[in-house]
Amino acid sequence: MITGTTEPTFTPDAGAALNLNHVTVLKDEPVFDNVIHKSILNGAQKLLIKGYHWAFEVNVNLFKEANPTAKYDEIYSRLYTLGKLQRHRDGCFIQDSSLEPVYFYMTEVVPYYLQSDNLINPLMTLLSSGLYRASMSICQNIRSLKRLTIPCPI
């Protein structure tokens, strides 16, 4: 994993931190929200750029956990909660350009079968930032989508 050596952590405002062990990061990128208004008379189009959310999607390999059912219950109990996200436990929370933590919602928790229905399954978890991020420090150059990181303030 880039810029860290440990797994992600989701920390809700109320409650203990949720360590996401044995994960594979599937998505760590902006999701743009644009609206196109198209005239029915002449087909003229107008693009409205509303902003973007940051999406962080992981596969949690529950079969690697000592107690997969307890881990699933722990993750599922955080569904639709608001909290801060660390890409790596040894790093800082994801921050915006003013060095304030960006808050994320856990919007999806989807179990699925890896190969057959008798194996303990992985779990897909999607976290999405709560507000439009016009100036997040982790994506300062939106046009070329270069991912930049800044060190934690000391």
**pTM of the predicted protein model:** 0.70
pLDDT of residue 132: 65
pLDDT band of residue 126 (cuts 50, 70, 90) is confident
Q: What is the CATH number of the domain that holds 18?
A: 2.40.30
For residue 124, is it within any domain? yes
* Maximum C-alpha span of the chain: 62
Residues 66 and 94: their CA atoms lie apart, in Å, by 29
* pLDDT tens figures, 76-100: 888 888 889 888 888 888 887 778 8
**Is 76 a domain residue?**
yes
Answer yes or no: is 154 within a domain: no
Q: Average pLDDT for residues 92-114, to the nearest whole number?
A: 82
CA atoms within 13 A on the CB side of 76: 10
Structural domains of the chain, count: 1
Nearest to 128 by CA among 1, 3, 5, 10: 10
Instruction: Kindly state whether residue 147 falls inside one of the protein's structural domains.
Output: no
Query: Is 145 domain-assigned?
Result: no
